[in-house]
Chain A
Amino acid sequence: GDSVTQMEGPVTLSEEACLTINCTYTATGYPSLFWYVQYPGEGLQLLLKATKADDKGSNKGFEATYRKETTSFHLEKGSVQVSDSAVYFCALLNTGFQKLVFGTGTRLLVSP
């Protein structure tokens, strides 16, 4: 079945450092890919999405590119802030289905 694999956390960075959180997937067909973020004490919010190969999703300085050849959707940010501290979830939604498949989440901790 479909699955998503994320790098284990926590990822600990200093403010203004570069961020990469790896995400790879296994799926039949042509899924849509998503990054969700969960701030402390809150539910999940959509951060960005990409719906086909080579699409780049971006929001709040974060970017991720849908790479079909490597089945990856890595999340990147050039300069992180303390306020980016959260748990980040990679997810896929396959064509014709309504259910998201989530990775296990990666906690990001940014210190001043």
Chain B
Amino acid sequence: DVKVTQSSRYLVKRTGEKVFLECVQDMDHENMFWYRQDPGLGLRLIYFSYDVKMKEKGDIPEGYSVSREKKERFSLILESASTNQTSMYLCASKRQGNSNQPQHFGDGTRLSIL
């Protein structure tokens, strides 16, 4: 079974801090994704990566950046955290190429910015 592991289930940070959310997958997937989930808005794509050192903006990239130095790890960075970035963050991975392949999700990180 595919395992996508997010480093923290719950995280509390202060406004202005630089925040790192880490995600690791163990199935050698090429594609990795970061979403945020908010009530009434569903999942919105922040960034995704289709290969090491490659990244593309999703629908809501403002205030975020990402890093993919190794194939199995995809980091989301909040450059200067703000209260409107309080949310549930979900990481996912997928094998590239076949659009029938599903995305596999981690359990999420619930981030609170005070």
Contacts and interface: CB of A to CB of B under 8 A. Distances in A.
15 contacts: A34-B102, A41-B107, A43-B90, A43-B107, A44-B90, A44-B92, A49-B102, A51-B100, A94-B99, A97-B99, A98-B99, A99-B58, A103-B42, A104-B40, A105-B43
Chain B contact residues: helix, strand, loop or mixed: strand
Given A44-B105, A89-B42, A97-B99, 8 more contacts: A32-B99, A43-B108, A46-B102, A89-B43, A93-B99, A99-B33, A99-B45, A104-B41
Contacts of A96: 99
Contacts of A41: 107
A46 B102 CA distance: 7
Given A45-B105, A93-B99, A103-B42, A98 B90 contact: no
A95 interface: yes
B103 A100 contact: yes
Contacts of B90: 43-44
Interface residues of B, number: 24
Interface of B: 4, 31, 33, 40-43, 45, 48, 50, 58, 90, 92, 94, 96, 99-100, 102-108
Given A93-B99, A99-B58, A105 B48 contact: no
B100 A32 contact: yes
Contact of B99 (A36, A45, A95): A95
Contacts of A105: 42-43
- Interface size for chain A: under 10, 10 to 19, 20 to 34, or 35 or more residues? 20 to 34
A36 B94 CA distance: 15
A69 interface: no
